[in-house]
Each structure stands twice: as structure tokens, then as C-alpha cells.
Amino acid sequence: MAFDHRKYRPAPVLARPQRQWPNQVITQAPRWCAVDLRDGNQALVKPMTVAQKIRLFECLVRCGFREIEVGFPAASQPDFDFVRALIEQQRIPDTVTIQVLTQARPELIARTYESLRGAPKAIVHVYNSTSKIQREQVFQTDVAGVKAIAVAGAQCVAEHAAQHPETQWTFQYSPESFTGTELPVAAEVVNAVIEVWQPAQGQPVIINLPATVEISTPNVFADSVEWMIEHMTQRAHVCVSLHTHNDRGCGVAAAELGVMAGADRVEGTLLGNGERTGNMDLVTMAMNLYSQGIDPELDLSDMRDIIETVEAVTEITTHPRHAYAGELVFTAFSGSHQDAIRKCLNRQRAPVSAASPWDVAYLPIDPRDLGRRYEEVVRINSQSGKGGVLHVLEQHVGITLPRWMQIAFSKRVQAAAEASGGEIDASRIAHLFDEHCLNVPTGWQVSDYQAHRRDGQVRIEAEVGTRHIVGMGDGVISAVINGLSQYAGVAASVEHFDEFSLSDNTAAEALACVQIRQGERTIIASAMANDTTLASIQAVVSAWGRLITETTQAATHEPNAEHCSV
Ligand SMILES: CC(=O)SCCNC(=O)CCNC(=O)[C@H](O)C(C)(C)COP(=O)(O)OP(=O)(O)OC[C@H]1O[C@@H](n2cnc3c(N)ncnc32)[C@H](O)[C@@H]1OP(=O)(O)O
Ligand SMILES: CC(C)C(=O)C(=O)O
């Protein structure tokens, strides 16, 4: 059988009962380095053009990255030209240090330095693989052999830098495939490189520990980071960096636990583009910090720009469920989620602040922080409920409904959703509301009325279509019902009545909602008007008109599927 788990071995797990990292809490952002233009680029079907790289570089700068790996200049002419363009066209802000990657090969290191001529500051990142597989099968060498490649590479990097003192150099070394390297081997190689560069004597040095391939659970990675830090010489003078991939889907978790284990810096890409399943996603990790009230020291508020840019240059679409960025991640279709979101949003005291923090069920952050709108938080289909329908009416139409009417109207929406099998958007909900509640039945428009109160009684005279209605009652509503009952000889009672003043963005000032009952039948109707009394009268008259129309249709065997009887 091809599908046979016995082909695989578990990754080694370190016995480390003295581990400290589980007790740590992340309280500040790490130093970030965006590697989209190098690791992201090298994984693409079509590597980026110089123009595309410039567009992405500018987006990264807007996000606030201070360290950006801009390429592998010895790899290809476009990579080289891009680095030259950045330097010659003075596109690198003072706040930003560019970083470039090279293998530990002298001719590639020489070409790398050539690309950096004239840069005010730069990080030269040299790597060689130290893993057992690569030692044995790729380099066909032993530990001493990979250590010698690393040391020679480190020396070569330092020698070139010494020839260009006009540039402020930082050196970075990666024991590539660190996760496949025995820890004592990784420490031996890393310490040999540190010995060459001497960070304690003032040379800025970054030691980057890559999960080139993610092979174990994030806790195992964190153990290995903590172990390396313990065994690293000149640790106080070294910036420990992490570069995780997402092969097991835990790239972000591994980086987070690695930071708890003592790492200072994290490399990754926007939205996680990169080799195979991708690099650690900077958006997710930074937003995870943000959602805990920690300043991520990046500005990701223009998420639309980030997504558009990344999609344009990578030709990879963003998954609708992508953490913080996907189209659907702030959207609830299910009724109980919608109801909770709506209630929490209504209770959330504005403005949200440290004193009154964000506290909304199902929404770990305020969607507006990333340029999203509350309107899109709730979308309606057959899984939705009355709370969701009400949210849409409140947000899109600017009206609210009493509970009894929410229940009645949401049944109409549910029926439409079941019939369509898909989403019922806000304009369709508004249309359904008009159709089932707000539209005045033909011939039942109130064109004029007079109301007089005398001796505790209200007398109403109203022009309804071609009818002249006269009625008496304790109040306006009962007077109208009285008049209508006399006119048509049909008795009905008002079961519910509510009236609301409307929000500023609606044309009318009042919304009246009514439910009348005749025997087993209930009818709902609403009316909007600037005059609150007119809204009340029209709502009752409309309900009455629907009742009469239905009765007539039933009598003539012409049922109208669109009526609002519930
Ligand atoms: C985990 C990572 O993402 S690391 C970054 C990987 N990124 C890339 O490879 C993209 C850019 N790379 C390239 O364009 C090319 O590989 C180049 C231009 C750098 C080199 O190209 P070439 O020399 O033609 O070929 P190739 O990459 O296959 O070279 C492999 C040789 O370099 C050696 N090598 C590989 N990596 C390293 C390294 N980091 N340091 C020293 N030697 C190395 C290999 O052992 C092999 O040696 P051999 O020729 O004796 O067999
Ligand atoms: C060069 C290193 C950092 C790398 O990209 C990796 O190991 O994934």
C-alpha cells in the first residue's frame, strides 16, 4: 500500500524538563524582517519583475518593516538589478535596512557585495545547510565539512565588508535546515561563525534559526531554540532570529513559542507566501499580538492594500478564511453567532479604548481596525436567525424592529433563503421588508386624517384610498380599528403595536409596526412617515388592507404567496 505511515519516522524530541519557555508571556513585538522579496519570490511560479518587487517593497515600507530581505542578488539578473535599483534610485528610507541572501560560496558572496555597492547599511545573510540529510546526501561531508563551509563563508563575508567601510554592515548566518540538524552540531557550527564575526567586539550579528522544513510540534521547536540560546557563545551580543515554515500548519505557532523561548527577531512574509506551504505569516503573528493589546510595531490597517499588492505580485489569491485577512473572517452566517455579535456590538461602549476594551463575542478584534465594516459582519442565508436579519436592517436600512416583528419577518427571510439556497444580501432583505411589511396594499393609502380627543375618547376621520373612514376609540389605534371594522364589517384586534423614531440617514422620522389578529390569523404591517400619528394610522390600515385582500383572494381561490400573514 502506498498510504502506509510505517514509511515515516518521528522527529526527535528533546528531553528537557528544565524548559523555561512555557512560563513566558510575549509582552512586546519582536524585531521583524520581511522576506517576501526573497523566500516568497523564490517559491513563485513566475518570480517577480523589478517593477513588481518595487511595488511590494513600498508596501512593506508602508507597513513599517525596518528590515527587508530584498533578494538573492547572486541568483539572477532581475534580483541583482532590483537591489541596484533600490540603491541607485534612493528608494530605501533611512528607517529601513535591506538584507540579501547568499550561499556560502566565494563567487556568490563577491557578486552579492557588488550588488550592495553604495548602500548606507545592509544585512548580508549567508547560509549553508547543516542537517544530517544534507551533510550525508547533498554535500557528502561530515560535521567538520559543513562547519568549514560556514566558517569560510563567514570569513569571506567579513573580508568583503572590510573593503567597504562606507556601508554599515550587519552579518547574518543561518544553519539552514536547523530543524533537521542535531542540536550539538547546530551549536558547534553557529559558535564557529560567531567566533569569526566577534559580535562582542561590536560587529552586529544575527543568528537565524530556520525551521526550513517544519517537522515537529511547535513546542519541540521552542525547546530547540531555548537549548541553542543556552549554548550560544557571546549570546548577549547576538540577535537570535527565527525563520519558520508552515509544513505542518504551525509556522506562526512555532515562531510565537520560539519568541517565548528567547528569540529576538522573526522572519516571515505577508500572508505567508513562501516555499511549499509557505513562510510564517507576518500578518497573523503581528495581529495575534495586536489582539492581545500589544503594539505589533507594524501598521497593518490598510489590509486591502496589503492583500491587493501581495495578490498582484504573487498571482496567489488569499483564502477567504485566511486569519485576519480573508474575505469571510469577520463574517457570521449562523444565527446564534449573529445574534451574539449584534448584541455585543450594541452594548460596546463607543469609543473603544483601554478603559473600555473591545469585548465582542466571535470577533477577536474590531474589524474596522483592518478597514472592514460592521455591515459585512453579518450575512444572511438559511443558517441565519432573527438577530442577523435585524442587524442587517439596522446597519443597511437604518431601522429596528420590535421582537414580535423580528420573529415574523425573519420567517419571510428564512423562506427566501431556503428557496434561493444561497445568500440573501442586504438589498434583497430591504426589498423583502418593503414587499412583506412596508408596501401599502393597493387602494389602502391614507391620504388625509383628522383626530380629535374629547372626554377621553379619540375620534378619527381618515381618507383611505377612495374610502372615508370614521371611528372612535380610547386612542388613535383603537379608533382606526373601530372605523375599519365598521367599514368592512370584519372584526380584528391589535395584538402588537410599536413605534420608533428613525436614524438620521432615513428619509422618514417614525416607523410604526403593527400586528392584528382575526381568529387564528395574524397580519403584520409597517409604515414610515414624518408624522408619527400618520405612521401609526397607515400601519394599521395597511395591515387591515392585507387582511381584506387575503380574505378576498381566499374567497376567489387566488392565494397570494407574497402576503404577510404569519
Ligand atoms: C532554504 C532556502 O530557501 S535557501 C535559499 C534557496 N534559494 C535559492 O536557491 C534561490 C536562488 N538560487 C539560485 O539561483 C541558484 O541556486 C544559484 C545561482 C545560487 C546557484 O546556482 P548553481 O551553482 O548553478 O546551482 P545549485 O544551486 O544547484 O548549486 C548547488 C551547489 O552549491 C552547493 N551549495 C548549495 N547551497 C550551498 C550553500 N548554502 N553554501 C555553499 N554551497 C552550497 C551544493 O552543494 C552544490 O554543490 P556542487 O556544485 O558541488 O554539487
Ligand atoms: C536561508 C534560510 C533562512 C531559509 O530560507 C530557510 O531555511 O528556509
Structural domain range at position 408 = 381-436
Q: Are residues 77 and 127 in the same domain?
A: yes
Q: Are residues 295 and 415 in the same domain?
A: no
Q: Is 496 helix (H, G, I), strand (E, B) or coil?
A: strand
CB atoms within 10 A of CB 115: 24
| Mean pLDDT in residue range 258-279 | 98
Q: Are residues 273 and 393 in the same domain?
A: no
Where residue 349 falls among pLDDT bands split at 50, 70, 90? low
In the predicted model, is pLDDT for residue 560 greater than 70?
no
Rounded CA-CA distance 130/139 in Å is 9
Looking at residue 475, what is its pLDDT?
A: 94
In the predicted model, is pLDDT for residue 387 greater than 50?
yes
Q: What is the 3-state secondary structure of 75-125?
A: CCHHHHHHHHHHHHCCCCCCCCEEEEEEECCHHHHHHHHHHCCCCCEEEEE
Least confident span in 79-88, 159-168, 348-357: 348-357
The CATH number given to whatever domain includes residue 457 is: 3.30.160.270
Q: Is residue 320 part of a domain?
A: no
Among residues 417, 436, 455, the one where a domain terminates is: 436
Rounded CA-CA distance 221/239 in Å is 18
The CATH number given to whatever domain includes residue 107 is: 3.20.20.70
Q: Are residues 422 and 464 in the same domain?
A: no
Q: Is residue 353 part of a domain?
A: no
Q: Are residues 343 and 487 in the same domain?
A: no
The minimum-distance atom of ligand 1 relative to the CA of 138 is 45
| Mean pLDDT in residue range 343-351 | 85
Rounded CA-CA distance 466/446 in Å is 10
CB crowding 348-370: b at 16 or more within 10 Å, else e: beeeeeeeeeeebeebbbbbebb
Q: Are residues 291 and 426 in the same domain?
A: no
Ligand 2 pocket test target in 212, 242, 276 with most atoms within 8 Å of CB = 212
Q: Are residues 116 and 163 in the same domain?
A: yes
Q: Is 412 helix (H, G, I), strand (E, B) or coil?
A: helix
Share above pLDDT 90 across residues of the chain, in percent, rounded to a whole number: 90
What does residue 530 show for φ and ψ, rounded to 5 degrees? -75, -30
Ligand 2 pocket test target in 33, 37, 38, 39 with most atoms within 8 Å of CB = 39
Q: Are residues 470 and 488 in the same domain?
A: yes
Q: Are residues 299 and 412 in the same domain?
A: no
| Mean pLDDT in residue range 513-517 | 95
Rounded CA-CA distance 346/12 in Å is 51
Least confident span in 191-195, 388-392, 546-550: 546-550
Q: Are residues 137 and 214 in the same domain?
A: yes
The minimum-distance atom of ligand 1 relative to the CA of 108 is 19
Asked whether 214 lines ligand 1 (CB < 6 A), one says no
Q: 303-314 and 50-63 are packed helices; what angle lies between their axes, rounded to 10 degrees?
A: 160
In the predicted model, is pLDDT for residue 166 greater than 60?
yes
| Mean pLDDT in residue range 222-245 | 98
Gyration radius of the chain over CA positions: 34
Rounded CA-CA distance 200/195 in Å is 10
397-401's contacts with Cβ under 8 Å and 24+ in sequence apart are 397/426, 397/429, 397/430, 397/433, 397/506, 398/502, 398/503, 398/505, 398/506, 399/500, 399/502, 399/503, 399/506, 399/511, 399/528, 400/500, 401/513, 401/526
Give bridge partners of residue 269 from the DSSP assignment. Answer: 281
Give 20-66 as a DSSP string. Answer: -GGG----SPPEEEE-IIIIIHHTSSSPPPHHHHHHHHHHHHHHT-S
Q: Is residue 564 part of a domain?
A: no
Q: Whose CA is nearest to atom 8 of ligand 1?
A: 42
Q: Whose CA is nearest to atom 19 of ligand 1?
A: 75
The set of residues, in sequence order, having a beta carbon less than 8 Å from that of 130 and lying 6+ positions away, is: 146, 150, 175, 176, 177, 178, 181, 185, 186, 189
Q: Whose CA is nearest to atom 48 of ligand 1?
A: 139
| Mean pLDDT in residue range 380-393 | 96
Closest ligand to residue 245's CA:
2
In the predicted model, is pLDDT for residue 557 greater than 80?
no
Q: Is 182 helix (H, G, I), strand (E, B) or coil?
A: coil
Residue set of the binding site for Mg(2+)? 39, 243, 245, 279
Q: Is residue 19 part of a domain?
A: no
Q: Are 559 and 552 in contact (CB under 8 A)?
A: no
The set of residues, in sequence order, having a beta carbon less than 8 Å from that of 373 and lying 6+ positions away, is: 367
Where residue 491 falls among pLDDT bands split at 50, 70, 90? confident
pTM of the model: 0.92
Q: Are residues 428 and 474 in the same domain?
A: no
The minimum-distance atom of ligand 2 relative to the CA of 35 is 5
Q: Is residue 291 part of a domain?
A: yes
Kind and range of the H or E run holding 448: strand 446-454
Q: Is residue 561 part of a domain?
A: no
Q: Are 473 and 482 in contact (CB under 8 A)?
A: yes
| Mean pLDDT in residue range 209-229 | 98
Where residue 381 falls among pLDDT bands split at 50, 70, 90? very high
pLDDT digits (tens, 9 = 90+) for 55-88: 999 999 999 999 999 999 999 999 999 999 999 9
Asked whether 75 lines ligand 1 (CB < 6 A), one says yes
Count of alpha carbons within 13 Å of 130, Cβ hemisphere only?
Answer: 31
The minimum-distance atom of ligand 2 relative to the CA of 174 is 3
Q: Are residues 217 and 231 in the same domain?
A: yes
Given phi > 0 = left and psi -120 to 50 = alpha, else beta, which region is 353?
Answer: beta
Looking at residue 554, what is its pLDDT?
A: 74
Domain count, the chain: 4
In the predicted model, is pLDDT for residue 566 greater than 60?
no
CB atoms within 10 A of CB 491: 12
Between the CA of 177 and the centroid of ligand 2 the distance, in Å, is: 7
Rounded CA-CA distance 497/83 in Å is 71
Looking at residue 504, what is its pLDDT?
A: 67
Q: Whose CA is nearest to atom 6 of ligand 2?
A: 212
Between the CA of 175 and the centroid of ligand 2 the distance, in Å, is: 8
Rounded CA-CA distance 335/44 in Å is 40
Least confident span in 49-63, 78-92, 397-411, 548-562: 548-562
The CATH number given to whatever domain includes residue 364 is: 1.10.287.1400
Q: Give just the sign of the alpha carbon dihedral 287, 293, 294, 295.
A: positive
Averaged pLDDT of the chain: 95
Q: What is the interface pTM, i.e. ipTM, of the complex?
A: 0.97
Ligand 1 pocket test target in 41, 103, 130 with most atoms within 8 Å of CB = 103
Q: Is residue 322 part of a domain?
A: no
Q: Provide the H-helix boundaries in 360-400.
A: 386-392
In the predicted model, is pLDDT for residue 543 greater than 90?
yes
pLDDT digits (tens, 9 = 90+) for 293-313: 999 999 999 999 999 999 999
> Which cell is 13 given?
524530541
List Cα–Cα distances, 377 to 39, 104, 131, 392, in angstroms. Answer: 34, 50, 47, 9
Nearest Cα residue to 264 out of 283, 240, 288, 282: 240
The set of residues, in sequence order, having a beta carbon less than 8 Å from that of 437 and lying 6+ positions away, is: 405, 409, 513, 524, 525, 526, 564
Where residue 152 falls among pLDDT bands split at 50, 70, 90? very high
Q: Give just the sign of the alpha carbon dihedral 190, 191, 192, 195.
A: positive
| Mean pLDDT in residue range 134-147 | 97
Between the CA of 240 and the centroid of ligand 2 the distance, in Å, is: 14
Between the CA of 254 and the centroid of ligand 2 the distance, in Å, is: 15
Between the CA of 76 and the centroid of ligand 1 the distance, in Å, is: 12
The minimum-distance atom of ligand 1 relative to the CA of 176 is 1
> What's the CA dihedral at 193, 196, 201, 204 to 10 degrees?
-50
CB atoms within 10 A of CB 241: 24
Cell 567538520 sits on residue:
144
> Which cell is 276 given?
511549499
Looking at residue 250, what is its pLDDT?
A: 98
> Which cell is 432 given?
423583502
Looking at residue 562, what is its pLDDT?
A: 38
The minimum-distance atom of ligand 2 relative to the CA of 279 is 8
Between the CA of 244 and the centroid of ligand 2 the distance, in Å, is: 8
> Which cell is 189 given?
557550527
Looking at residue 564, what is its pLDDT?
A: 32
Q: Is residue 284 part of a domain?
A: yes
Between the CA of 103 and the centroid of ligand 1 the distance, in Å, is: 6
Asked whether 149 lines ligand 1 (CB < 6 A), one says yes
Between the CA of 251 and the centroid of ligand 2 the distance, in Å, is: 13
Looking at residue 226, what is its pLDDT?
A: 98
Rounded CA-CA distance 72/76 in Å is 8
